[in-house]
A and B are shown apart, each in its own frame.
Chain A
């Protein structure tokens, strides 16, 4: 069997972007949370906000550093592995990428230095502004990168030249393509929910560890309040994006639903195993007419099925079908967790129900699982296209690449990420175990007799590491 550079490049892209997306999924939310805590500290003067903020800033520093370096990899993938995509689409999406760099990356990087290192060097309001700018930068970054992604999903505002390249015709239609507002809202809200579940889990752990109960309760209270609004909102936004997909990417929607035969009054497939070759679902449990009801809000609404599209224009159904179910399942689980939290609060047992706090500790990965599943749904659902309906993935890869080239680079990316990511995650967990120390010896270093002391040497040893 010969090595196919297209498949291998796709695997490589999945590998580098899947690891990368975990970091913005967390840093976008945590940057806003830090801004909120810093603001509350400036406003109320209560030291607890500062302690909790400092604690999250330390975790943020690790995750942001990893996000930066794994993010630098991304734009180069379009050149190294997807040069034909770059050549075909750069006139349209190039400026969007560049605007992400110009509006977001510099803002984040410049103010991050002040946020992490400058607390003693600038007035407290300036430190708050730095926190705000970092958070604002992460949101601007989301705006532009999702604009690019949405244009690939639902292209608009372009013309196609005689050689097949895309050219801009209407910039508003390019940036605000049909799926963009829905995708942006659903993604950013998803990132916020992901972060809130991390805060919830860490708060629960901190209470149970018993050393920093007040801080733990603060995190738990803030996270539950936030999730009470955002989990239902996120489910609503997901539904809106689903309806948008039905309108603009019907083949993807059919794959999400596992719907082979279109028509009116279509069933809702609850669970089954899609069989791409057999054009049916094996071992399926489906409820008649329900699909039409929630997709078109009418019992007899018409929905297109996969058989309405030629086989070479269908995405890999099984991946999309299960990724979508995992995302929805996690969403419903999140809703249940929030509901149980309110039930306990109502009975006044929120901070004392050990079984609940124990359970919450394990909710940390939930958001990340949902983000990865949702991302898989939308990106695999876009296949076999890079620009939906217009440019095939197989026509996007760099012509000079051999399968062996990509095998080599993929193995190197795997080796490095498998070393760096677990290490970084371990460090972040260690910060969590140490808790929100007020004067954290691990990070606050001293000046000894006017001479700078080496940071690590100044450590008192033997604390919880």
Chain B
């Protein structure tokens, strides 16, 4: 037999899956922090909120580039169909990320228009999150494809479902952001973050419930995936774990735990992420192309894998180190340069 020794597509599925999940977690909490920034009225607290992510947001956003490029390199057919189909949400996300990214520097330097850059930061975070949520919704619903190309209209992505997932992701990122702030702040600001975390958690639960009912109702194959025997028993741990984690997160936001709200919120995201993956498996262009059909050539995947397996652990190591340098509660004197 002449087949590959390793299942490259399987490995790349894991890498891409991890990369996207890392992005969702890391930029998720810092976009969430950006939205919470807009909800807090006090200037002093806002400074601390922003400083809690100032040294790390740039690294967090890098996972978005990696996700996009890994999709291009490992599953180019999916990239070539999905990205043009999401022309406007991707545009909105990019423009919003520009605004909030420059706000970190500009807000400190532009005293005359600080209010403007404050808005740029929180609305930029909100719009970028909403756009990512609609990307998720449109992705789950699938695209109009002919051959190797998206042939629908650039406005197909606007649906009630994608609007709902957009709002849902805003709540989700706020939950992660609140967890982060509980970890990184203390005193009144921390108490405030705990309250925001609980509010966001309630919204997230409503949203997860809505998606969990809506998708199997709308898509027969997703219903079959979850509710046919024996899947219903095998997959039951996922929703049950989600419920348990949601309960634990709720409790820990109320108790004096500093780290656990963030940890449980991450756990909740993981179960939601797994849920979506289970619904869509094994497709990467939902309802159309499987991971194997969309994969790049074996030589392409192998060439990139060699370096990736070497580089990813190093990246995680020094990224971890940069987080370690800025560990502990935020101090304003660690601020700009």
Contacts and interface: CB of A to CB of B under 8 A. Distances in A.
A465 B91 contact: no
B10 interface: no
A69 B76 contact: no
A102 interface: yes
A398 B94 contact: no
Interface in B96-126: 97-99, 101-102, 104-111, 114
A86 B294 CA distance: 13
Contacts of A120: 333-334
B83 A445 contact: no
Given A65-B58, A87-B148, A420-B98, A78 B72 contact: yes
A105 B311 CA distance: 12
B337 interface: yes
A79 B93 CA distance: 14
Given A62-B105, A84-B149, A452-B333, A79 B79 contact: yes
A434 to B, nearest CB: 11
B159 interface: no
B61 interface: yes
A413 B251 CA distance: 45
A94 B69 contact: yes
A429 to B, nearest CB: 11
B299 interface: yes
A443 B73 contact: no
A98 B79 contact: no
Given A90-B296, A458-B332, A113 B55 contact: yes
A79 B76 CA distance: 10
Nearest to B93: A76
Contacts of B332: 445, 447, 452-455, 458
Interface stretch (B160-168, B172-180, B191-199, B319-327): B319-327
Interface string B129-154: 00000000000000000001111111
A457 B43 contact: yes
Give the secondary structure class of A's interface.
Answer: helix
A98 B87 CA distance: 21
A400 B312 contact: no
Interface string A50-90: 00001001100110011011111101101111011011001
B287 interface: no
B90 A83 contact: no
A456 B106 contact: no
Nearest to B65: A101
Nearest to B299: A168
Given A72-B64, A121-B334, A94 B110 contact: no
A268 B87 CA distance: 46
Contacts of A103: 307, 311
A72 B80 contact: no
B137 to A, nearest CB: 18
Contacts of B255: none
Contacts of B70: 98
A253 B326 CA distance: 52
Contact of B62 (A58, A65, A97, A105): A105
A118 B110 contact: no
A100 to B, nearest CB: 8
Contacts of B99: 416, 420
A424 interface: yes
B82 interface: yes
Interface range on chain A (Cβ under 8 Å from partner): 35 or more
Contacts of A457: 43-44, 47
Contacts of A459: 111
A168 B90 contact: no
Given A54-B337, A447-B331, A114 B102 contact: no
A424 B334 CA distance: 23
A113 B66 contact: no
A338 B95 CA distance: 41
A66 B99 CA distance: 10
Contacts of B297: 91, 167-168
Given A65-B104, A111-B322, A73 B94 contact: yes
A94 B77 CA distance: 12
Interface in B229-254: none
Contact of B56 (A78, A113, A444, A446): A113
A167 B297 CA distance: 7
Interface in A117-159: 117-122
B88 to A, nearest CB: 7
Contacts of A413: 95
- Which one of A97, A102, A118 has the greatest number of beta carbons of chain B within 10 Å? A102
A91 B148 CA distance: 14
Contacts of A109: 58-59, 61-62
A445 B331 CA distance: 10
A62 B80 CA distance: 33
A80 B336 contact: no
B73 A79 contact: no
A10 to B, nearest CB: 16
Contact of B58 (A68, A76, A87, A456): A68
B330 A400 contact: no
Contact of A416 (B98, B299, B300, B333): B98
B95 A412 contact: yes
A443 B109 CA distance: 9
A199 B162 CA distance: 49
Contact of B87 (A105, A405, A416, A453): A405
14 contacts: A70-B98, A75-B65, A75-B69, A76-B94, A90-B72, A90-B76, A94-B72, A94-B304, A97-B69, A105-B65, A110-B59, A113-B326, A122-B325, A452-B51
Interface of B: 43-44, 46-48, 51, 54-56, 58-59, 61-62, 64-66, 68-70, 72-74, 76-77, 79-88, 90-91, 94-95, 97-99, 101-102, 104-111, 114, 148-154, 296-297, 299-300, 303-304, 307-308, 311-312, 315, 318-319, 321-322, 325-326, 330-337
Given A65-B58, A121-B326, 14 more contacts: A68-B61, A75-B72, A86-B79, A94-B76, A113-B325, A117-B54, A168-B303, A409-B91, A416-B95, A416-B98, A420-B98, A423-B102, A443-B335, A452-B47
- The 4 residue pairs across chains A and B that have the minimum distance between CB atoms: A79-B83, A90-B76, A94-B73, A454-B47
